[in-house]
Structures are given as C-alpha cells and as structure tokens.
Structure 1
Amino acid sequence: MKFVRCFAVLGFALGLVATSAANAQPFQDTPPAGNSDSAHGQHAMPDPQKQTARLSRKLQLTPDQAAKIEPILANRMQQMQQMRGDTSSSPRDVHQKMRALKQDTDSQIQAILTDSQRQQYQQMQQQAMQKRLDHKQGAPAAGGGSDDDGG
C-alpha cells in the first residue's frame, strides 16, 4: 500500500513540474545564440523561423504564405534589436517605436492571410494579450500551455 501511495505522490509531483515547465515561458521560444537581452530584464525575440512554423501550424499557411511571412518577422526582429540598442532615445520613445513596428508587422502579416486565417490570427493576438495582462497582474494564466504567435 505504501508503494502505491508513494507512486501516486511521485506522479503528482512530476505532473506539477511538467505543468510549471510548460507554463514558465508561454510567449517565448529559446532566444537565438548570442542574444543576451533576457539577461538584462528584456524579453528575447522569438526566432522568426520558429514563429513562422508555429503560425503555419496554427493557421494552416500555404508554403507561399510562410515564405512571405518569415522575412517580415526577421525584419521585425532586426529592427527591434536595433531599437533596444538605441541609447539616444528615451525608453518611452523606444516603446512607442516598438509598438508601431509591431502594428506595422501585424498589418503586413494580415495582408497575406485569408479572411478565416486573419480572424484566427486576431484571436491569437487577443489571447496572447490577455495572457500577458494576466501574467503582469500576477493572475494564473487561463487555459493551457498553448503557444502564442510571438508577435
């Protein structure tokens, strides 16, 4: 009987570890090599290839759509890195520029999508925003460990 109880406790503990690991960074992929932004308290940019693969999976992108979206995401990542390195602008200005860049990128991506894909993409964005707000406010994230599009 002790063995069964010990096994149940071990299973429960492993489940907790797996759940917390899955929810630890729901919005980020592993940062590219050499990206030390996370060490300075900033969010690391997800890899554009991984973002494109995730969007392809979730939105059933055609190869042509994926080929058009990946350079948009790569360009956004490059511009974000440049903005983060810009010490001549105030943090508020950098934040505003990043927000404008994200909106521009989202518009470019949405222009490539079909109507149903666009609707799904917007829902993904809203869910990601809600998760970020919940996380910022310290509330437990609703739903599972689903990936966000990274954008």
Structure 2
Amino acid sequence: MRKNSILKSFLILGIGMITSVGAVAQNGQQGQMNQQERAERQTEQLKKRLALTDEQVVKLEEINKNTAETLMSLRNDQSLDRQSKMDRVKTIRDEREAAIVALLTDEQKQQYEVMQQNRQEKQVQRKGGRRGSK
C-alpha cells in the first residue's frame, strides 16, 4: 500500500516537472514572438497614422525587424551588466528613431514628432500616477 502511495507521488512529481519545463520553453518562445509582434504592430500603427507609402512600409518593416532582433539578442546577452544593457538599448532605440525619421517626408516628420511628444507625455503621466499611489 505504501509503495503505491510513493509511486503515485513520484509520478505526480515527474508530470509536474515535465509540465514546468514545457512552460518555460514556451515562455521563451513567446518572448521572441512578442518582439516580432511588437515590430509588426509598430509598423502597422505608423503606416496608418502617417499614411506611409508601400516603399516606406517595406523600409520600416526592415528597421523594426532588425531592432527587435537586436534587442532580443541583447536581452539574452549574459556578458553585459544591467547598466551596459540599458545604455545599449538607448543607443539602439536612438538609431531606430533616426532611421525612421530619415525615411519620412517633411509633413510625416511633423506628425511623427507630435506622436512622440504625446507618447512621452503619457509616459510621464503614468509614472507620476505610480509614484502617487505608493
């Protein structure tokens, strides 16, 4: 009787371990998919808001795809400390911004600048709200 109880315990433990390994593997894949999805979503948003041409969309897709891949590899880089990673992320984002602005017309640049200012204002409001709630 006691043997059956021990065997059942090991069986349940084994199933739990297998399930958790699968979940960890899926989370890693989801993180990668999220980066790709984020790049696609960013492209689609700018396409709509700035009325991008097909040629601009192709270039923007490449910019966003490359940025997403670079950020993902940076996130997985264990050789850098936190501050170095943060510095590198800022550089990557600045390079992305410069590449985007370079492909826009003057009118689109003005619209993009307004979009960026609005985004920054919203971020400040959100951060202010978090501090106030603590």
Structure 2, unmatched stretches of 5+, are: 1-27
Identify which of structures 1 and 2 has the higher relative contact order when contacts are C-alpha pairs closer than 8 Å and 6+ apart. 1
CA shift, 1:49, in A, is 2.0
Counterpart of 1:35 in 2: which secondary structure? helix
Supply the distance in 2 between the matched residues of 1:126 and 1:81 (Cα, whole angstroms).
26
Matched, 1:64 2:59: no
- CA offsets, 1:89-137, max 9 Å, x none? 1111101110111010110111100011011111111211221222122
Supply the distance in 2 between the matched residues of 1:95 and 1:133 (Cα, whole angstroms).
19
Query: How high is the TM-score relative to the length of structure 2?
Result: 0.68
Counterpart of 2:79 in 1: which secondary structure? coil
2:112 corresponding residue in structure 1: 121
Matches within 5 A, 1:2-151: 34-36=29-31, 45=35, 46-138=37-129
Structure 1, unmatched stretches of 5+, are: 1-32, 38-43, 140-151
Counterpart of 1:61 in 2: which secondary structure? coil
Supply the distance in 2 between the matched residues of 1:50 and 1:70 (Cα, whole angstroms).
10
1:143 corresponding residue in structure 2: none
More helix by share: 2
Size of the aligned set, in residue pairs, is 101
Q: Provide the identity percentage.
A: 29
Supply the distance in 1 between the matched residues of 2:72 and 2:111 (Cα, whole angstroms).
28
Supply the distance in 2 between the matched residues of 1:114 and 1:64 (Cα, whole angstroms).
12
Query: How high is the TM-score relative to the length of structure 1?
Result: 0.61
